[in-house]
Amino acid sequence: MSAARSSEGASRFFDEVEQELLQASVESQRADWVYSTFVSEDTEELSSAALARLIAVTVRRAREAARLSSAELSGPDARKARLLPLSLPLLAPADPGEAQELTRIVASMQARYARGRYTPHGRSEPLDLQGLSRILSESRDPKLLEEVWSGWHRVGREMRPEFERYVALANAGAKELGFADTGVMWRSKYDMPPEELAREADRLWEQVRPLYDALLGFVRRRLQAVYGADTVPASGPLPVHLLGNMWAQSWEALLPLLVTGPAAPPYDLTKLLVERRTTPEEMVRYAERFFVSLGLEPLPATFWSRSMLVRPRDREVVCHASAWDLDYVEDLRIKMCIEITGEDFRTIHHELGHNYYQRAYGRLPFLFRDSAHDGFHEAIGDTIALSVTPAYLRRVGLLGAADREEDDVPFLLERALEKVAFLPFGLLIDKWRWEVFAGRIRPDEYNTSWWALRAKYQNVAPPAPRDPEEFDPGAKFHVPANVPYLRYFLAHILQFQFHRALLRSAGHDGPLHRGSIYGSKDAGARLARTLEMGTSREWPDALEALTGERRMDAGGLLEYFAPLRRWLDEQNRSGAQGG
């Protein structure tokens, strides 16, 4: 057979594969949407069964694609052959019984997480994660904070036996398609050898670690002033329950403790939104108008009729914010239990970033309907959220005051408590899972190794010694939900790289933290060209299209926070000198 005829046959094969995958993916997405917005044993079973069928189709077709010779594959088909076994974060064993068991376990762990509740002392009703998180962010009673933190983390212990079995079955599926384990499979999605990706993540962390350490040192001394040296040590890990977030992955709730008087932020976005009686839908309308201002189309009418924007009163749901494209073309939705807060305002801008990315690559062949790598998907939404600046808020009528240079540090501190504080947490979750999948962390070491990594990277510790039998990783949604997490770490690097490049397109030549691309058609056109590439090209090509650079780099992040870094260093020096 001629090379041309072989190539034609391969192209027909991938046409068939993509049609079959599209049908199975839509079925799985719809079942998962129903489950996530109506948690029950029945919807859990339906979601699990649909996912099992999708995995089975993917694995079967990936095995068939592996039998094609390189001579049969054109450039696009060769890329499809490489992407096919990587298109899902979970590969089940070929055995139907084991495949079904695996998907049921993942659905069961998610259901345990969604049903997680704890009743704090003195309360009459159990609280879900949102209610418990509100206490962590608002209370300054260390005993209550410890109780609430420990109460939520009980949810992990219940799923530990399931997680052990999940690791074994997921690894078996990955090995059947030629990967050493599931962690290697996850790291193979980045157009580079898996071991090179791990080194790249370490390189990026070393770029930003000094900034994190400076922020941590400042926070430590302020917390000592509030809680005393007996509760907050002068060195060593900080108590995790005092940082205002269930996982200490962001510290924005500490802002009122850290800066007061003239150094306080000039505005409270939550207060502004509440004073204007902003509804959940209007929160989303603000974000939609942002994208329209860049020259992109409004969301489809079905978005507004099919999204879940508030927590229903009549049923259990998965409140974790997420963006969906159920038909992989135009059925865009978000699922959120929106609260009228500044945090949710920015989160909505982020989630619509996913939706607009999904729409942009929806015209490509199915296997290319994804982001350049998963960090890009997260970074695009975060890039838009970086443009939620005082200048933007003024333009949309939420803020009246003009920029003042003295407001820069409190604004940047608030951003750093969200963005910089997150960096080590974003890295360590998958570092832990990579070791678990590789067998270098045994089941009896799950919890102790988890806290060793948290001490190493975040420099935090639990409020009291944890029983090795606990399973604290399970108290974070992405672990029971089988969602790879390195994407978020990479996104926190890339978003500043993207922000800097798009601001240049928009003609902004001032400090990065003051710039917003709102209303810039030039920035919108550059953004759209990158989004439309999907994963049809290797990610350095997409990065170059957006930024002119081919390597991920934290230079944009460091430039953005440079004024804050100088201020932190001054504060830390004066604190060390007793000033």
Nearest-angstrom CA–CA distance, 9 and 15: 10
The residue type found at 297 is: E
Q: Residue 216: CB partners within 8 Å, gap ≥ 6? A: 238, 459
* pLDDT classification of 91: cutoffs 50, 70, 90: very high
The backbone region for 397, taken as left when phi is positive above 0, alpha when psi lies in -120 to 50, beta otherwise, is left
> Which residues belong to the active site?
320-321, 350-351, 354, 378, 478, 488
Predicted confidence (pLDDT) per residue in 478-527, tens digit: 999 999 999 999 999 999 999 999 999 999 999 999 999 999 999 999 99
Burial class (CB in 10 A: 0-12, 13-18, 19+), 222: middle
* pLDDT classification of 579: cutoffs 50, 70, 90: very low
| CA distances in angstroms from 352 to 161, 298, 528, listed in the order given | 36, 11, 14
Predicted confidence (pLDDT) per residue in 113-156, tens digit: 989 999 999 899 999 999 999 999 999 999 999 999 999 999 99
The answer on pLDDT for 1 being more than 70 is no
Q: What's the pTM? A: 0.92
* pLDDT classification of 9: cutoffs 50, 70, 90: confident
Predicted confidence (pLDDT) per residue in 192-231, tens digit: 999 999 999 999 999 999 999 999 999 999 999 999 999 9
Enclosing H/E stretch for 265: none
The answer on pLDDT for 298 being more than 60 is yes
* pLDDT classification of 436: cutoffs 50, 70, 90: very high
DSSP code for 132: H
DSSP code for 367: G
Strands 332-335 and 322-325: antiparallel
The residue type found at 304 is: W
